[in-house]
Structure 1
Amino acid sequence: MGTKRILALQHTPEDPPGLVLDMARKQHIQIDICTSSHEPLPDVLYDYDMLIIFGGQEHVYDENRYPFITKEKELTRKALARGLPFLGICFGGQLLASALGARIRRLAAPQIGLLNVHITDAGRRDPIYTGMPAHQLAFQWHNDVFDLPQDGVLLATSQGREHQAFRFGPNAYGIQYHIELTPGMFEEQLSDKTTRRAFQHKPETYQHIKEAWRTVYPTYEEHSRIFLDNLFRIGQLIPARSPIHDSGRYRRTAQ
């Protein structure tokens, strides 16, 4: 069996693959990173076993300003038509929803910070959340949210009833929250002047995140790694897990 390959679409240096890259390397999966806002996208995906699209500062509906968004949607539809395993994170999750015809809506105010994500009944039955608790603390930073596409399965929500995760078909996932952040990425984001300006109307939120992230990070990282491990197994990039290896992990119905 040859080396498995992931095509990862990154939009800015501030949004690198982080834990996704680390997990892929540990599993000896090759990950090719394309900065799609500056580099040409491949016309076909025959050389790849999974497509992952990361976050970005653009809006999915700004295709006139950013033509690469249209190209990403086309590539996403090709991946879906081929049945290629897919993960979209934040902007990438919105792009998947949009490619499937769902509406992307602008929020009245940005959603930034450490927020609780609630796994739905369908999510607790889905293999992507195997070994995970029913409630998770996640990091979010977005101005837009996605409606659920037709035939999409809602897997997670937040307290404000925002859609946080969905599945389309057997192996295409879109999530609104971030699972890829490393400690270095947290540090860089929180020390950036642009980040501080984004919190100018809620300085207490910025201070809370700055003080809290180190405390919650071990759990955040554990959940992220379990999610990615599940994703790689669903996509058959690594072997399926035997039941004995699930001992000691979270039960799906854990609170």
Structure 2
Amino acid sequence: MFQRRRSAVALRHVAFEDLGLLAPIMEREGWNVSFCEAPVDDLSHPSIGDADLLIVLGGPIGVYETDSYPFITREIDLLERRLAQGLPTLGICLGAQLMAKALGARVHAGNVKEIGWGSLTLSDTGRASCLTPLAEGTPVLHWHGDTFDLPDHAARLASNENYENQAFEFGNNALALQFHLEADPRQLEEWYVGHAVELASARISVPELRARTAEYSKIVARQADRIFTSWLNQLAHKDAVSRTAQAR
């Protein structure tokens, strides 16, 4: 039986922060992915708003910097509409912060800049979610200085010693991750260059970060596969149930 390939749009803020490990997973799971360059493309285009899945990627700017980067307001408007309609949405780092803002929560500078590998603590809801593999203590890549309050009606999934809100879900189809499950260790060399000023300001040793990345490279690839495959399969199941109900 022919299975329809679903459409996904990834909103990208800087070229080197892309889908990474998520790209081959989506291809395998039957998704056609197109990219939208958030700073310059028309975010009101129906192909974005009506996509089966919207993925909002990371970037080195703050949600509150709308005077310097007016397109942020258009992103928030887009997310408000999708989240109000219950349309599948995934936010990563800046994308998670934009989702929180679109849901009415405060986004602000944090007390600690997190850059590097570290584990998370899952909530009860998180342990029952697609993030279950993180309960094993395997590390994720943190790369942020901002944080957000938990939106109303959202469920906290993960925290750590620095930030209470590291991941949340909203409704049945929206997932926000403050950390980078998608980061491909092989491509992080581009991050070290693209974020050179930030790394130097935070006094992060690139050789030490590179060594930690090499240590975890095989683990994080398997982890990303398990988590993203689980979440995408959940979306597919919900979509199939919805289509069956509509056909009756």
Q: 1:198 to 1:130 in 2, by over 3 A?
A: closer
Contact 2:12–2:36 at 8 Å: present in 1 too? yes
- 2:196 aligned with 1:195, yes or no? yes
Q: 1:134 to 1:184 in 2, by over 3 A?
A: closer
Matched position secondary structure for 1:72: helix
2:118 counterpart residue number: 115
1:252 counterpart residue number: none
* Distance in 2, Cα, partners of 1:66 & 1:196: 20
The amino acid of 2:120's aligned partner reads V
Q: How does 1:1-255 map to 2 (within 5 A)?
A: 1-44=3-46, 45=48, 47-126=50-129, 128-190=130-192, 192=193, 194-195=195-196, 198-203=199-204, 205-236=205-236
2:244 counterpart residue number: none
* Distance in 1, Cα, partners of 2:185 & 2:89: 25
* Distance in 1, Cα, partners of 2:135 & 2:122: 8
CA apart distance, 1:217: 1.2
CA apart distance, 1:106: 0.4
Matched position secondary structure for 2:119: strand
Q: 1:215 to 1:134 in 2, by over 3 A?
A: closer
Task: Give CA deviations for 1:200-248 in whole Å, capped at 9, x if unaligned.
Answer: 5534x543322121111111111111111012112117999xxxxxxxx
- TM, length-normalised to structure 1: 0.85
CA apart distance, 1:193: 6.9
Contact 2:120–2:137 at 8 Å: present in 1 too? yes
CA apart distance, 1:130: 4.3
* Distance in 2, Cα, partners of 1:7 & 1:201: 32
> Structure 1 residues 167-176 or 40-49, which shifts more?
40-49
* Distance in 1, Cα, partners of 2:190 & 2:236: 33
Which segments of structure 1 move beyond 4 Å, counting only runs of 4 or more?
Answer: 237-240
Matched position secondary structure for 2:223: helix
* Distance in 2, Cα, partners of 1:65 & 1:230: 38
Matched position secondary structure for 1:163: coil
Matched position secondary structure for 1:226: helix
CA apart distance, 1:177: 0.2
Matched position secondary structure for 1:88: strand
* Distance in 1, Cα, partners of 2:76 & 2:7: 20
Aligned residues: 237
Q: 1:64 to 1:172 in 2, by over 3 A?
A: same
How high is the sequence identity, in percent, across the aligned residues? 30
* Distance in 2, Cα, partners of 1:230 & 1:220: 15
CA apart distance, 1:134: 4.4
The amino acid of 2:8's aligned partner reads I
Matched position secondary structure for 1:155: strand
Q: 1:120 to 1:2 in 2, by over 3 A?
A: same
> Structure 1 residues 141-150 or 46-55, which shifts more?
46-55
* Distance in 1, Cα, partners of 2:114 & 2:133: 27
2:243 counterpart residue number: none
Q: 1:100 to 1:123 in 2, by over 3 A?
A: same
- TM, length-normalised to structure 2: 0.87
Contact 2:120–2:134 at 8 Å: present in 1 too? no
Give unpaired runs (5+ residues) of structure 1.
241-255
